[in-house]
Amino acid sequence: MQPILSYFWQICLLRTGPEKIPASATITGMLLVIYLTTAFISIAITRPNLAMIQAIAAVFIGFIIEAAIIYGLLVLKSVGGRFLSTISAVLGSNSILLIILLPIQLLANNLNTGIVSSFISALLFVCFLWWITIVGFILHRVANVSVLQGIVIALMIEFLFLIASATLFPIAG
């Protein structure tokens, strides 16, 4: 297990791409379960006002948007066979980032004012930029696009998720 975590950590550090991940539905399925679990916990913490079914739906919608855009890009670039290894790399690195973010999100929820709260907000933004860069890097490695193009696609994924989430699950208040 440690070599697998180490490999995904290396992806998070932009030191390696998803080339060594086998195109295996079993591996992708296991990573999907891990990702969905960590994402559900993350949404439950960051959006405690959502009902459990809404949180589950938000996580699935986010994954579907991400997977559909990545698959579309890979098919467009004639490398659709790389989908399983690509989505596995994204799921594994997303899971690691979500685990790193959990304590930061807990702090953000419990601190409403002050310089520490501002620091936590900045830290969350840095983690968001890190996620965008990781996905952009993965897309660069598998779809033969520039890192900047990959980052723009990752931003598009995030914006579409935010639009879908805000439309389907508006924040009351």
Query: pLDDT above 70 covers what percent of the chain?
Result: 98
Q: What is the pLDDT of residue 110?
A: 77
157 in a domain, yes or no? yes
Q: pTM for the whole thing?
A: 0.91
153 in a domain, yes or no? yes
8 in a domain, yes or no? no
10 in a domain, yes or no? no
- Look at residue 98 and give its three-state secondary structure: helix
Residues 6+ apart with CB under 8 A from 102: 38, 41, 42, 45
- As for how many domains the chain has, the answer is 1
Range scoring the smallest mean pLDDT among 12-26, 31-45, 97-111 = 97-111
Whether the per-residue pLDDT at 13 is higher than 90: the answer is yes
89 in a domain, yes or no? yes
Average of per-residue pLDDT across 73-102: 95
5 in a domain, yes or no? no
83 in a domain, yes or no? yes
Segments forming the whole domain that contains residue 128: 24-168
7 in a domain, yes or no? no
Taking each helix axis as running N to C, give the angle between helix 25-46 and helix 52-76, from 0 to 180 degrees, rounded to the nearest 10: 130
